[in-house]
Amino acid sequence: MSLTYEPLKRKPPEPGQISQRSSFGTVTIPGTPVGAIVSVGLVVICWFALPLSRPFILTTGGLGLGLGLLLYWKHRGPRE
């Protein structure tokens, strides 16, 4: 018995279109409100199931928020 990996054959997005799917291993999370609910649910499960992960979750959440706001501020369009 051999285990082989064959990536899914997906059609690349057309020029100018943005793909709204992220793939984490075998879990595909769409970039929609439903994907946000799934992501928050995974964080909540990890928060309660793994108490040692709490400092990591808080640190990465804070760093992600800070970096996201910095990039948003840097790349937003000109203000009128």
Q: Which is higher by pLDDT, 79 or 47?
A: 47
Give the helix/strand (H/E) hosting 54.
helix 54-75
In this prediction, residues 59-76 reach a mean pLDDT of 92
Range of the domain at 66: 52-80
Q: Which of the 8 DSSP states describes residue 26?
A: T
**Does the residue 57 lie in any domain?**
yes
Sign for the pseudo-dihedral over CA of 38, 71, 23, 62 = negative
pLDDT per position as a tens digit, 27-64:
666 677 888 888 889 889 989 999 998 999 999 999 99
State how many domains the chain has. 1
**Does the residue 77 lie in any domain?**
yes
**Does the residue 61 lie in any domain?**
yes
Give the helix/strand (H/E) hosting 30.
strand 27-30
pLDDT per position as a tens digit, 14-25:
776 665 555 556
Does residue 50 contact residue 40 with C-beta atoms inside 8 Å?
Answer: no
For residue 28, the number of C-alpha atoms closer than 13 Å in the C-beta half-sphere is: 7
**Does the residue 70 lie in any domain?**
yes
| Distance between CA atoms of residues 39 and 30, nearest Å | 10
